[in-house]
Amino acid sequence: MDVRFIRPGEDKVCNDFHNHFFRDDRSLKQWRWCFLPKEDNQNTIPFVVVDDDDRIVGTQAFIPIRLVDERGVFPTVKSEETLVHPDLRGQGYFEKMYTVMFDYMKTRDYHCIWGFTAAIKALIKIGFLVPVGTSQLFLPFSASAVTVAVGSQVTSNNAGIGSKIKAIGYKLASLLAAKYASFKSCRARKRVSASAATNRIELKTLDKPPDDAGTISKRFVRQWGGVTIYRDAAYLQWRLFENPFARSIFRAAYCDNQLIGWCAFTIGDDGMGYLVDIMVTHEESDITGTAVSLLLQDAVDTLRAMGASGVRGWKVNNHPFDNLITETARKVGFYNVKRGYFAVLYINDQSDRRDFLAQFDNWFVTRIFTEGVTG
Amino acid sequence: MIARSRIDYLKTQLLRHCGRFFSDEASQALQKTEIIFENYSEAVQRRASCIAVPIDIEAPIVPENQYTAPFNETELTLYNRLPRPDGEGWACLPDETHPIWYRHQSGTLIPAWNLYHNLFDLLTFREDREDSRRDIHGRFIAAYSPRCEKNLLETPAFNEAAAALVGAALGLQQDSLPWFELDGHVQPPMVVLSHDCDILSGNDLWTQSVRAYRILQPLIRLRPPHLQNMWWIIRNAVRPRDYYFDNAKGMIALEQIFDFESTFYMLNGSGGRFGARSGSKIIAELMPHIPDRDDVGIHYNYDTHLDNDKFSAQQTELNEVTGRTTRVGRAHYLRFDHAKSFDFWAAHDITTDESVGYPDRIGYRCGIGGCFQPYDIDFEQPLKFREIPIDIMEATLLSQYGDGAVDAFERMLRHLKQVGGAVSMVVHPGMFFNPEFPETRGFYHRLLIVCRRLGAVSQTASVIADNVHPR
């Protein structure tokens, strides 16, 4: 067994390995979008494989992502594509792949590895921190919303009575929640529209990223503090506008014709709407609050018209902007569901931002970093 | 004696089609290949590296000798088989029982089926010409087509013939046998999406009356009334745009996520049961929501069928309302006359049309998934007009296949992926996502997911027409 970096031409076998074990249908184009633009200046793709006599039996990848804080922009990596063949589990290949990747991170001065996962045990063993369990924002539109959200579909006519009762329960819960959310949303809509007009805020759909997107990220961390993904035009182009899984609708908010933020959202193959990204920065808190409300309301209305069964977003931590989104989302009709992945974090011990990054409430991250159809 | 112009016409349609739906190399191979249209007796005597297409064996109106042949990881459905040439040196390819080509050892290839007449008849509406039956709207419907009972409506006979010719040409250019695998030579399948905006507001008298009728209709059969229609009446009385105008906006957003584009055919002009139910003002309100990548066309009103004055009035009004000069259109209720409509539309400056389809079945009305120029049989010349037959209407697909509708669509698109071509599909705003028609919920989204999974690309009707048959 050889644990090494991927070689040219191995993209297809790596993608096939993923598709086989996750019963997925990811295309080569989609694989390349995820991992190929990330070659570093030494032409190494941060994608490690376990090679068993020319057969790929394990993968671990990094997606380099730049973050920004008040001191400036700095490099990090997000962990992706962790997979070891079931026959090899417990034999240390997961650790061996990470050993290669830890070296990679340190030699290239990445400040940390971060990610979100349900499987944290193995990561804790090799030194990852688990600073927080995330929750979700959820707004159902229809009776199928809860079923889709929990990924539980009663498809067989021969399903047991228990499953059928559960399915009916989900539908009833969805319907009641949807009706109540709709009522709340109605009340919020009028207030938000009036406030948007007063504050001269308007929304526009963009079909390419705004040139000054990077400035917004920098202004954002100056206003809200902490650290966030550095979303410059190139990043948004790659992540949102060229996403081969599903592009996002990108709605930019302007106040007096000045860009102050945006909301990106999409609809997944499961029919659920997803808030992919949202950020707003303006020195007046009224304007910021109104813009967030307007963007959320607009996303909800558009996703409803698109036929989504509901909308999901992430509530990650207690970053002040994350809290503002949650508070505003509740007024628009969202529920905060305490169920989600864990954040995982491994900080480079040579990083001069160690303590800052370890405080996870400093982070503002949205679904924009996730691999796949929803951003 | 076959008019030379007919042969030139068919050849032009094939070459242009292949220029769009196959690789440059494949298209050039086809252009370089000598394709001779001649009598069968001459074709079997030919001894050269070429394709000889017999033209003197008439095809029966009801397809005969139907069979399938493996080709490029799919199957070609061929019919009206030609006799195998007598004499030494002839072989059937790919095999004796499922021949696509008769090949002489000298290199001559003769199609094993009646390629010329099958395709020419389809492109020139032979079924319409020889069968005078029409439904109450004056249409030749799928039920009248002999191909319907033979289950051939979903066979893109033109595309399959083009793919077979491309394979043969690629083989001939390399002095080898015809290819039956076209790896890398077929362009991604194309979807031509459109939306007939018949109803943009759900509170008009006719739509509400139909709902009222649906409440009472079951009483005739002594069954309980369908009271849920009461809810649709009330809902659209209070919120007329729900599931109509709002759905049009939803479709635009959904297509944006898939990076697809579409054409909105606007119905304006006179009202009534078969007319424009929502008026013209609402069209103007929809226009700002239609992005530049999408196109706007005219949905020829029911009463404008071959009526110059009414057509002109509708067109003038629509151009005023939309602020555009519409050059692309589709007939409401798919009303058209195969002999008169193309000239009629062209005279009104319409350059591209998407009316040629069946209201009662999905399928390739002219055997082509793509774009062609209609041919004037009387004057023996092609028209300077581009037709993109409509292959799939969402309601027809659902009623025909029910729960298997998405699979049926996938089957058609997967086949086009192997033989090259485009599928034209219409989804009405009111059928995009409407609880009144629960089967439509999420249906269009699922179709678009299939398109993305199969690597389909999208172009509007006018763009694809400009690509295949430049004006």
- Give the tokens for residue A45: 């793709």
Contact flag A249-B455 (C-beta cutoff 8 Å): no
Give the chain B residue nearest A247 (alpha carbons): B257
Contact flag A269-B449 (C-beta cutoff 8 Å): yes
Contact flag B249-A266 (C-beta cutoff 8 Å): no
Contact flag B259-A247 (C-beta cutoff 8 Å): yes
> Which of B247, B253, B445 has the CB atom closest to A249's CB atom?
B253
B457 touches chain A (CB under 8 A): no
Residues A88 and A198 in one domain: no
| pLDDT attached to residue A172 | 83
User: Which residues of A are less than 8 Å from B456 in CB distance?
Assistant: none
Contact flag A307-B291 (C-beta cutoff 8 Å): no
Residues A142 and A205 in one domain: yes
B145-166 mean pLDDT: 98
B254 touches chain A (CB under 8 A): yes
Residues A173 and A320 in one domain: yes
Give a yes or no: residue A126 inside a domain.
no
Q: In this structure, are residues A35 and A43 in contact, taking their beta carbons and an 8 Å threshold?
A: no
B239 touches chain A (CB under 8 A): no
Work out the percent of chain B whose per-residue pLDDT is above 70.
100
Q: Please count the residue pairs, one from chain A and one from chain B, whose beta carbons lie less than 8 angstroms apart.
A: 53
Look at chain A and report how many structural domains it folds into.
2
Kindly tell me if the per-residue pLDDT of B161 is higher than 60.
yes
Residues A75 and A157 in one domain: no
Nearest C-alpha neighbor of A226 from the set A73, A365, A363, A368: A363
Contact flag A246-B247 (C-beta cutoff 8 Å): no
Residues in contact with B298: Cβ distance below 8 Å, sequence separation at least 6, in sequence order = B265, B266, B314, B315, B318, B326, B328, B329, B350
User: Which residues of A are less than 8 Å from B414 in CB distance?
Assistant: none
Give the chain B residue nearest A204 (alpha carbons): B289
Angle at A118 between CA A113 and CA A121, to 5 degrees: 75
Kindly tell me if the per-residue pLDDT of B159 is higher than 70.
yes
Give a yes or no: residue A298 inside a domain.
yes
Among residues 413-452 of chain B, which lie with CB inside 8 Å of chain A? 432-433, 441-442, 444-445, 449, 452
- Distance CA(A271)–CA(A153), nearest Å, equals 13
> Which of A271, A306, A309 has the CB atom closest to B253's CB atom?
A306
Q: What digits encode the pLDDT tens for the residues B241-294?
A: 999 999 999 999 999 999 999 999 999 998 888 999 998 999 999 999 999 999
Query: Which residues, in sequence order, are bridge partners of residue B266?
Result: B197, B298
Q: What digits encode the pLDDT tens for the residues B396-438?
A: 999 999 999 999 999 999 999 999 999 999 999 999 999 999 9
Work out the percent of chain B whose per-residue pLDDT is above 90.
96
User: Which residues of A are less than 8 Å from B247 in CB distance?
Assistant: 305
CA distances from B229 to A111, A210, B134 (A): 61, 47, 33
Residues A211 and A265 in one domain: yes
Residues A175 and A231 in one domain: yes
CA distances from A291 to A199, A218, A276 (A): 9, 18, 16
Which one has a higher pLDDT value, B361 or A199? Answer: B361
B224-239 mean pLDDT: 94
Residues A179 and A52 in one domain: no
Q: Is B457 helix (H, G, I), strand (E, B) or coil?
A: strand
- Give the tokens for residue A209: 């990223």
Residues A17 and A149 in one domain: no
B250 touches chain A (CB under 8 A): yes
Residues in contact with B150: Cβ distance below 8 Å, sequence separation at least 6, in sequence order = B62, B63, B66, B79
| pLDDT attached to residue A158 | 57
User: Which residues of B are less than 8 Å from A265 in CB distance?
Assistant: none
B365-383 mean pLDDT: 97
| pLDDT attached to residue A369 | 65
Contact flag B445-A25 (C-beta cutoff 8 Å): no
Residues A171 and A298 in one domain: yes
CA B335 to chain centroid:
15
> Which of B254, B452, B453 has the CB atom closest to A306's CB atom?
B254
Which one has a higher pLDDT value, B348 or A244? Answer: B348
Q: Which among A75, A110, A145 is the end of a domain?
A: A110
Place of tokens 């808030």: A275
| pLDDT attached to residue B134 | 97
Give a yes or no: residue A11 inside a domain.
yes
* B440: closest CA of chain A, how far (Å): 10
| pLDDT attached to residue A38 | 60
Residue of B242, B249, B256 to mutate, interface with A, max A Cβ within 10 Å: B256
Per-residue 3-state assignment (H helix, E strand, C coil) for chain A: CEEEECCCCCHHHHHHHHHHHHCCCCCHHHHHHHHHHHCCCCCCCCEEEEECCCCEEEEEEEEEEEEEECCEEEEEEEEEEEEECHHHCCCCHHHHHHHHHHHHHHHCCCCEEEEEECCCHHHHHCCCEEEEECEEEEEECCCCHHHHHHCCCCCCCCCCHHHHHHHHHHHHHHHHHHHHHHHHHHHHHHHHHHHHHHCCEEEEEECCCCCCHHHHHHHHHHHHCCEEECCCHHHHHHHHHCCCCCCCEEEEEEECCEEEEEEEEEECCCCCEEEEEEEECCCCHHHHHHHHHHHHHHHHHHHHHCCCCEEEEEECCCCHHHHHHHHHHHHHCCEEECCCCEEEEEECCCCCCHHHHHCHHHEECCHHHCCCCCC
Domains, chain B, ranges and CATH? 4-173 (no CATH), 190-202+240-468 (3.20.20.370)
Contact flag A247-B246 (C-beta cutoff 8 Å): no
Residue of A249, A306, A309 to mutate, interface with B, max B Cβ within 10 Å: A306
Give a yes or no: residue A128 inside a domain.
no
Give a yes or no: residue A81 inside a domain.
yes
Residues A154 and A240 in one domain: yes
Contact flag A266-B257 (C-beta cutoff 8 Å): yes
User: Which residues of A are less than 8 Å from B455 in CB distance?
Assistant: 27, 29
> Which of B256, B291, B445 has the CB atom closest to A271's CB atom?
B445
Contact flag B445-A267 (C-beta cutoff 8 Å): yes
| pLDDT attached to residue A53 | 87
Residues A50 and A151 in one domain: no
B455 touches chain A (CB under 8 A): yes
Q: Is B374 helix (H, G, I), strand (E, B) or coil?
A: coil
Give a yes or no: residue A361 inside a domain.
no
Give a yes or no: residue A215 inside a domain.
yes
Q: What residue numbers bound the domain in which A95 lies?
A: 2-110
- Give the tokens for residue A187: 């009340």
Residues A12 and A95 in one domain: yes
Using 50 as the pLDDT threshold, list the residues of chain A that sit under it: 154-156
> Which of A27, A249, A271 has the CB atom closest to B257's CB atom?
A249
CB count, 10 Å around CB of B441? 18
Instruction: Output the domain CATH number for residue A42.
Output: 3.40.630.30
* A250: closest CA of chain B, how far (Å): 10
Q: What digits encode the pLDDT tens for the residues B204-221?
A: 999 999 999 999 999 988
Give the chain B residue nearest A264 (alpha carbons): B257
Q: Which among A110, A143, A175 is the end of a domain?
A: A110
Return the DSSP state at B186.
B
Give the chain B residue nearest A375 (alpha carbons): B257
User: Which residues of A are less than 8 Å from B441 in CB distance?
Assistant: 142, 307
Give a yes or no: residue A362 inside a domain.
no
